[in-house]
Structure 1
Amino acid sequence: MKKAYLVVLALAMSVVGMSLASCARRQGDEGKKTVSVKGSDTMVILGQRFAEVYMSQHPGTSIQVTGGGSGTGIAALINGTTDIAQSSRPMKESERQQIKEKFGTDAIETPVALDGLAVYLHQSNPVNELTLAQLKAIYTGSVTNWNAVGGKDAPIVLYSRENSSGTYVYFKEHVLNNEDFAATAQTLAGTAAVVNAVSKDENAIGYGGIAYVQNIKAVRIKKDDASPAIEPTRENVVSGAYPISRYLYFYTAGRPNNPVAVDFIRWVLSEPGQAVVKEVEYFPLPQQMRQRVFQQWEAAGQ
Structure 2
Amino acid sequence: MNQSSVRITSNPAVEMPSVITIAGNDGMEPLIEKLCELFRREHLHVTFQLTMNGSSTAFPALASDACLIAPMARAPWAADRASFKSAKGYAASVVHIGYAGHGPRPDAKTPPSIYVHAGNPLNGLSMPDLARVFTSGSPAGDISFWHQLGLSGDWANRRIHLYGLRDDGKYASGFREAHLGGMAYAAHYEALPDRAAVVKAVADDPYGIGAIGWFDAAKFADRVRVLPLSRETGGSFHTPCLEDVAAGCYPLSSYLGLYVDRAPDTPLSPLLKVYLRLALSEEGQALVAEFTDTREGYVRLSEPDLKLAFEQLEKL
**TM-score bracket for this pair, using the shorter chain length:** 0.5 to 0.7
Q: For residue 134 of structure 2, what is the aligned residue in structure 1? A: 139
Asked whether 1:164 is paired with 2:180, we answer no
Among candidates 266, 275, 285, match of residue 289 of structure 2? 275
Q: What are structure 1's unaligned runs of at least 5 residues?
A: 1-28, 39-43
Q: Distance in 1 between matches of 2:200 and 2:275?
A: 36
Among candidates 100, 114, 118, match of residue 99 of structure 2? 114
Shift in Å, 1:121: 2.4
Q: For residue 74 of structure 2, what is the aligned residue in structure 1? A: 88
Q: Distance in 2 between matches of 1:56 and 1:125?
A: 48
Partner SS state of residue 53, structure 2: strand
Asked whether 1:64 is paired with 2:52, we answer yes
Q: For residue 198 of structure 2, what is the aligned residue in structure 1? A: 197
TM-score relative to the length of structure 2: 0.56
Q: For residue 19 of structure 1, what is the aligned residue in structure 2? A: none
- Structure with greater helix percent: 1
Shift in alpha-carbon separation, 1:250–1:207, aligned structure 2, 3 A? farther
CA contact (8 A) 1:122 1:200 kept: no
Shift in Å, 1:160: 3.4
Shift in Å, 1:205: 2.7
Q: Distance in 2 between matches of 1:273 and 1:119?
A: 30
Among candidates 190, 206, 210, match of residue 206 of structure 1? 210
Q: For residue 50 of structure 1, what is the aligned residue in structure 2? A: 31
Shift in alpha-carbon separation, 1:256–1:118, aligned structure 2, 3 A? farther
Deviations 1:242-279 (Å, cap 9, x if unpaired)? 4445644221224689x9x9998677541453124523
Identity score, percent: 18
1:1-80 equivalences in 2 (<5 Å): 35-38=22-25, 45=27, 47-50=28-31, 62-68=50-56, 73-80=58-65
- In the alignment, residue 211 of structure 2 is paired with which amino acid? Y
Q: For residue 218 of structure 1, what is the aligned residue in structure 2? A: 226
Shift in Å, 1:217: 1.4
Q: Distance in 2 between matches of 1:156 and 1:136?
A: 14
Q: For residue 301 of structure 2, what is the aligned residue in structure 1? A: 285
Q: Distance in 2 between matches of 1:211 and 1:281?
A: 13
TM-score relative to the length of structure 1: 0.58
Partner SS state of residue 135, structure 1: helix
Shift in alpha-carbon separation, 1:282–1:196, aligned structure 2, 3 A? farther
Q: What are structure 2's unaligned runs of at least 5 residues?
A: 1-16, 41-46, 101-110, 137-141, 263-267
Q: For residue 259 of structure 2, what is the aligned residue in structure 1? A: 251
Shift in Å, 1:284: 1.0
Q: Distance in 2 between matches of 1:241 and 1:268?
A: 22
CA contact (8 A) 2:246 2:302 kept: yes
- Count the aligned residue pairs: 253
